[in-house]
Amino acid sequence: MKKKQLTAAIMTALMTLSASAYAAEQTTSMDSYELAPVDVEGQRQAAVAGGLVSTEARMGIMGDVSVMGIPYSMQSMTAKAIETYGDPSQPLANVLANNPSIRSSTSSPMYTDFSMRGINMNGNHFMLNGVPSLFYQFTTPPAHIIERMDITSGPNAAVNGVSMSNNGTNSGATPAPGTINAVTKRAANAPITKYTQVISGRSTAGEYIDIGRRFGKDNAWGVRVNGEMLQGGLALPGAKIDSKDFFVNIDHRGKRSMTNLFFGYWDHNIDGAQRWFTYSGNGRELPTAPNAKTSYDFPETWKRMYVKVLTLNHEQKLSDTWKAFFNMGYSFRDGTKMNSGANLQFDTNGNFTNTNRSNAQNESGKNMYLQLGVAGEVSTGDVKHNLALSVDRSRAQYWNANGYGARGLYGGNLYDGITFGAGFYPLPAMPTQKAQWSETNVGISLMDTMTFGKWNVLLAATHKHEYLKNHTNNTVIRNNNILPTWGLTYHPTTNTAIYYGHTESFSRGFVVTDSKYVNKGDVMDPVKSKQNEIGVKYENKGLLTTFSLFQIDEANRYDQDAGAGKFRYVADGKNIYRGAELTVNGQIAPRLTATGGVLYLDAERDKTQGGAKDGFFVNGAAKWSTVLGLNYDLSDQLSLIGRLNWMGKSYIDSRGPGARTEIPSYATVDFGMKYRTQLDGMPLDLSLMCYNATNRSYWMGRGGSTTFGLSMPRTIMFSAALSM
């Protein structure tokens, strides 16, 4: 942004504050300050005091239920939480990090990776309005369209129906430790007309529209329109973002039916901002993280992605106690990228090695989903049953092609910057896409939640048939399995729940398709994972607290260095994750709202080949992580916001002492303020946030992987949201 434009923006903000303060002095009633627009938007669910989390969340095919009745860890973040802690120039994981089980694996908007309880996840693990597998590694749902995010970090594999097994552009099959369901914004009873301007990073400027209306008899029909235009420089010098999207949500509420249609497109482009690395050295600890303002991109580094998405949800009452439901989803993405491979490798001294090379990638994917089911209530004696039965089908297709530059043309080091030798140009030509694989999953799910007295019992199972065809070598993999889930909840008091949950999940066999692997074409066996969790939930005086103990085991698959810039994708025993998690959300004082918690994670390997690495650490999984967000309302108009994130040290396989290298711990601090006022009688919210306020430079571990990220520098965001 030019200096004159920045000055004008600051002057406009100051004049607005002055005018609004004067108007506030002339107002005898403060009623207009008590209800921010975001609170109106969230009217469909009750929120814990402070408004950052909901007391309701989706429990798979059973629909929305009380969080207290769900036999596993569940945190449902509201639109207010997203608006308070989100920044459009950063990944959505920046908001998800308010949950202590979730740690971001990247600070760059070029990717979406994060870990949940030490296991790597990304956009593939999002559901949208209950529909799975519509996003992937580069995309998650845009933050500004989300009304609520139901974060499940516990055993729930059989309650959602079937989903795809892919986890990343290489389609690596890994059972997820949980799911995240994003619910899109819908028209509220009160009209919504909201215009927001955002300034972030070095020169990123964004404009947002949010319009919602209900009409027809009894306001049966609703339309919500959301749009974004975001463009400019990120906090990292030389990195830019250019993102445009437009989404429409249409819903109908009848006496015997409810229908919701959501559709839109997203044109998402990033220039620069690659921040992933690997280590070939033998140090006890990674070299000191370089200045986060340092760019490691060649000038033409970019990633382009175009996404179209649609979901349709319908419920039809069959009687006073039974209903039929239908869910459908479709997404298509098409994109290209030009960057330095998946990650940059450096040695003990921070020098870039001769294995690095440029990469041109051309890919696209198509996902389709259909689900039909019935749900209702019956009683057997004193036991009340909530039953649900569904049949669903999920299909995905993936096309991809890569072109590579020569090796040995990367020089320089972490601290002086990267250099590119003679012959680096011309860059590799963009290749033509080729079919890589297609996957079809068909499932039947049955779920019963039984209530009698103070007890709730959950029994669920999904019979899943998986069919994968690898088009590169004409390999076909079939897999049939049953995914069981059960849980038990006891309510000693109305605001206390003691629970136990168990689930087993499977992911299909996996064909190694990426040419970076020397064993390309190998077929890996299907992966089975088990989860157990026991915990207690307590809600009192506006505060919801959950404490849980859990254990997860999964097959251990990872990239083994094969030399010359190549890897071998190997399976070696399994990873076992044991831990304790505490989350706290709500008001801890009349004007003070807290969100966050603590995670302790003991992750180790077991049953490795010859027992060689039994008891070893799991790559990138830290033992401790903590997050604490505080919102303090100085008045009805002014709020102060602060957040502390701390991640303990973790380890990666290496040639260092004990065959490991440490990724040091780090802590970051975010703080800001929000001022609620009026402009010509219209509510105006002014927000100022500073992320990574101390400008800390640090390495970020990636669960289950030897790769790791570098932080982004301090980022300042200012936004003004006018509700008309």
List the Cα angle 249/252/255 in 5-degree steps: 160
CA distance 349 to 153: 39
- Torsion, CA 447, CA 452, CA 457, CA 463, rounded to 10: -20
Q: What proportion of the chain, given as a percentage, has pLDDT over 70?
A: 91
Mean of per-residue pLDDT scores for the chain: 88
The CATH number of the domain holding residue 312 is 2.40.170.20
Helix (H) or strand (E) holding 424: none
Residue 31 predicted with pLDDT over 50: no
Q: Where are the beta strands (DSSP E) in 239-321?
A: 240-253, 257-271, 276-279, 302-317
Structure-token pair, residue 402: 């890569």
Could you tell me the pLDDT band of residue 7, with boundaries at 50, 70 and 90? very low
Residue 32 predicted with pLDDT over 90: no
pLDDT digits (tens, 9 = 90+) for 145-197: 999 999 988 777 778 877 765 544 334 445 567 889 999 999 999 999 999 99
Assess if residue 6 is contained within a domain. no
Residue 141 CB coordination number (10 Å) = 24
Please state which of the ranges 232-236, 304-308, 566-570 shows the lowest mean pLDDT: 566-570
pLDDT number for residue 61: 83
Assess if residue 12 is contained within a domain. no
Assess if residue 619 is contained within a domain. yes
Residue 437 predicted with pLDDT over 60: yes
Residue 353 CB coordination number (10 Å) = 18
How many domains in the chain?
A: 1
Q: Which domain holds residue 135?
A: 34-723
- Residues 6 or more apart whose Cβ sits within 8 Å of residue 166: 124, 133, 136, 172, 173, 396, 398, 439
Assess if residue 19 is contained within a domain. no
CA distance 214 to 212: 7
pLDDT digits (tens, 9 = 90+) for 193-243: 999 999 999 999 999 999 999 999 999 999 999 999 999 999 999 999 999
Assess if residue 235 is contained within a domain. yes
pLDDT digits (tens, 9 = 90+) for 235-277: 999 999 999 999 999 999 999 999 999 999 999 999 999 999 9
Assess if residue 71 is contained within a domain. yes
Among 435, 447, 443, 436, CA closest to 466 = 443
Assess if residue 11 is contained within a domain. no
Residue 676 predicted with pLDDT over 70: yes
pLDDT digits (tens, 9 = 90+) for 45-99: 578 888 999 998 888 888 888 999 999 899 999 999 999 999 988 888 889 999 9
CA distance 58 to 168: 25
Assess if residue 572 is contained within a domain. yes
